[in-house]
Structure 1
Amino acid sequence: MKVHRIIIRWSSIMKQAGLILFFLLCYLPTLSAQSAKSPAEVQAFIYVVDLREIDGAKQDFFADIVVRLRWKDPKLAGQGKHFLPADAAWNPNIQIVNRVSVQATLPEVLEVDESGNVIYRQRFIGQFSSPLNLREFPFDHQTISIILVALAKTPEEVKFVRDSAEESGIGSKLSITDWKIDSYEVKMQPFRATPGGRSLAGFVFELNLTRYFLFFLVQIIIPVGLIVAMSWIVFWLDIQETGPRVSLSVTSMLTLVAYRLLTASFLPRLPFLTRMDYFVFSSTSLVFLSLLSVVWIARSTKKKEPFAAALNLHSRWIFPVLFLFMLMFAFWF
């Protein structure tokens, strides 16, 4: 009897072990497949219709862009070609991270075909923020970006890829006149709002630009150079004519202050000096130095000091040489 009970107990244990093994063989592959489920693939296309303005003072730009996303949703297959409200089915729910004042102009709808292929189209017009490195202004190169993310969706849930049907690009004729488009690039990369925070699936459209500096050369750099040169005329005037010499130097100084206010309108309040700042500030300092020299020469002349005439003569070449060094410092080094 004891042996019989042992056999029955052992048989029961083996049945339970068999059930457990059956469960592992049948359900573990399913669980593993679910855990290894690939993210939804979304093909992204972005086209810059127009780029109107880049505002260095506000650190933003005005653009007109078209975004198209394509993906496959088997749940929507077999219903023929139809349209759905964007919130009536799954969609990446894209958001523009660096939008300032942007308007969506197309209806929020999804286009679905017989096979379950879904297309989302939208056109965005408005201002986008973009930090600019203005240290080299006005001879600077900049990169501006349009950053789009899938709201509340991680890279494990959504994978953005380049559209296989059409390459992203820019319009052949843009409204912007003071920048040259060097190149553009679409990057499929996650976005993280805070260091160590949650990553969101997203992609970035980058534009690399070079500023046309001819406007600043003609409107600011050359006129300022002429004003500085005008301040040297005092050293060719009669050393006894103190009034006209001082008047000319003061006029040059005030004109440069007005140009300094003009250049400030192109820039935000920066914690550093740009190349244009160095140029205008150095020119102003040079004109002020010539004014001090004129006053000191006039004072020394009244006292009949012998070196006053010599200083006035040497100033004719000292100040042009200082100006050349200043130009090299401002725009070369």
Structure 2
Amino acid sequence: MPTSAAMFRELLEAVRALHSPATSPSIHCSTIKIPRYRPHVGCDGNLYEFPEVEVSVKVYQICNVDTAQLTFEVDFLCCLEWCDPNVEGKSPEELKSLDWNQYFNPHVEVDNCKDSSAWLDGMDAIPRRRSSSFQSRINGACGGKSVNEDFGVQLRKTMRFRGTLAMGPVDLRCFPFDIQALPIRLKARRCRGLALGTPAAGARCDQCGLVSLVDSSGMMLFESYLQHDAHLKGRGNYAVCIFVKRPFLAHYFWDLLILNLLVMLATTAFWDTAAADLSSRMSISLTVILTLAAYTSSRPAPIEKAPYVTFHDWVEQMSMFLVTGISVQNVVAVVSCGGQNSEAPPYMTEEFERNRDGCSLGWCMSRQIDCKGLTVLLVAWALLALYSAFWLAA
């Protein structure tokens, strides 16, 4: 049996082995420096914990603007830019190996997207360096500090979106001469105290792309009115509104023109001076009324769900009102002057004798009573057109 002295020596060697440093080359001890961010005052005067991020949006295409479903399709590029002093002096290769769960890495999402649309594949998951073409602007954004483009503090992320967005409330009272706002709303996530700001004034024009606006059939539906209007919407939110309007000579404009031409067609009954009965003159105006009723039986697709009267509806109602007035004028003219025909009944002959002056030839190359009706029609049409113009201007 081992002696107590031998047992004591073995125990002492075991304790020394536990307290001695490891000699195995596979065991290493390293320290990780966790970056720290100091709170600072942003451009809006508020205190933020993390760097302030500048957002730039470049719109490539907008199509299928649907005011009935309140949606539109858009293709745009979003760029995030900020300054991070914790990455100064690190090479682009070192940036890729950093633990971006510890460093500031902003993430944004489209707040008004539909149908689970998301950023396209290929977006920047981690930040990268800016190109040298934007160096001077970034130097100003980083407090005037001149930095090297490969080892500086400026970072950026780009991502592209192609999908369907929600429009929000629309006002179609001036349809088809309405102007609509198509919003692109971005919201920050996973970053406390993140402030999203607009690009610098000198770079805004570089970030405004030309907009191509077409509908599903390939024909232009909207044309650009104001391509870029960015504004802040509180902490961590950013919005871009693209204002669009319909082309003036779109097919909706020709619809309104056809309605007015139908009214002019109904006035041709004023020159039917040979008719002794009501049916001959009323056939023209009744045909126009039936044509108007069939032509306006359904509202255009953009306003089919609008609960209020639009300008397009107003023109239809105005046309129907004028044609109805023409029909009433035809009845009055036939009753007053139909007795001049030899086959007219006796009561119409008596009525003609009482209104002989009104049935004489007037300035419009028709009866005086028809000329008066034409004058009333033109005055009413002019007043309604003037009222419509003021309505659109307001």
With the length of structure 2 as denominator, give the TM-score of the two structures.
0.62
SS at 1:99 equivalent: coil
User: What does residue range 48-197 of structure 1 map to in structure 2 within 5 Å?
Assistant: 48-72=59-83, 74=86, 80-82=94-96, 91-101=105-115, 102-113=117-128, 118-130=155-167, 131-151=169-189, 156-162=193-199, 167-171=206-210, 173-175=212-214, 177-191=220-234
Aligned equivalents of 2:382, 2:40: Cα separation in 1: 71
The C-alpha deviation readout for 1:17-64, integer Å capped at 9, x for no partner, is: xxxxxxxxxxxxxxx969965432212121101122433333332221
| Aligned partner of 1:201 among 207, 231, 236 | 236
Q: Max radius of gyration: which structure?
A: 2
Aligned equivalents of 1:223, 1:318: Cα separation in 2: 22
Q: Are residues 172 and 179 of structure 1, via their aligned partners in 2, closer, same or farther at CA, if it must alter by over 3 Å?
A: closer
In the TM superposition, what is the alpha-carbon distance from 1:218 to its structure 2 partner?
A: 5.2
Q: Are residues 265 and 38 of structure 1, via their aligned partners in 2, closer, same or farther at CA, if it must alter by over 3 Å?
A: same
Letter in 1 for 2:164: Q
Kept in 2, the 8 Å contact 1:48–1:64? The answer is yes
The C-alpha deviation readout for 1:212-248, integer Å capped at 9, x for no partner, is: 2212575212211110011111121133243232222
Match in the other structure for 2:53: 42
**Aligned CA-pair RMSD:** 3.7
Kept in 1, the 8 Å contact 2:263–2:322? The answer is yes
In the TM superposition, what is the alpha-carbon distance from 1:108 to its structure 2 partner?
A: 5.0
Pick which of 302-311 and 223-232 moved more: 302-311
In the TM superposition, what is the alpha-carbon distance from 1:269 to its structure 2 partner?
A: 2.9
SS at 1:142 equivalent: strand
Pick which of 107-116 and 41-50 moved more: 107-116
The C-alpha deviation readout for 1:62-88, integer Å capped at 9, x for no partner, is: 221111223355379565253899989
Q: Are residues 208 and 172 of structure 1, via their aligned partners in 2, closer, same or farther at CA, if it must alter by over 3 Å?
A: closer
Match in the other structure for 2:310: 274
Kept in 1, the 8 Å contact 2:196–2:236? The answer is yes
Aligned equivalents of 1:55, 1:85: Cα separation in 2: 44
Kept in 2, the 8 Å contact 1:236–1:316? The answer is no
Q: Are residues 64 and 243 of structure 1, via their aligned partners in 2, closer, same or farther at CA, if it must alter by over 3 Å?
A: same
Q: Structure 2: 5+ residue runs without aligned partners?
A: 1-37, 42-46, 129-149, 339-344, 360-367
In the TM superposition, what is the alpha-carbon distance from 1:136 to its structure 2 partner?
A: 2.4
Aligned equivalents of 1:157, 1:235: Cα separation in 2: 73
Aligned equivalents of 1:121, 1:318: Cα separation in 2: 65
Pick which of 245-254 and 310-319 moved more: 310-319
Aligned equivalents of 2:260, 2:231: Cα separation in 1: 47
| Aligned partner of 2:291 among 255, 258, 264 | 255
SS at 2:321 equivalent: helix
Q: Are residues 188 and 317 of structure 1, via their aligned partners in 2, closer, same or farther at CA, if it must alter by over 3 Å?
A: closer
| Aligned partner of 2:280 among 225, 234, 244 | 244
Kept in 1, the 8 Å contact 2:79–2:156? The answer is yes
In the TM superposition, what is the alpha-carbon distance from 1:107 to its structure 2 partner?
A: 3.7
Pick which of 236-245 and 111-120 moved more: 111-120
Percent identity, aligned pairs only?
19
Q: Structure 1: 5+ residue runs without aligned partners?
A: 1-31, 192-199
SS at 1:98 equivalent: coil
Kept in 2, the 8 Å contact 1:86–1:110? The answer is no
SS at 2:173 equivalent: coil
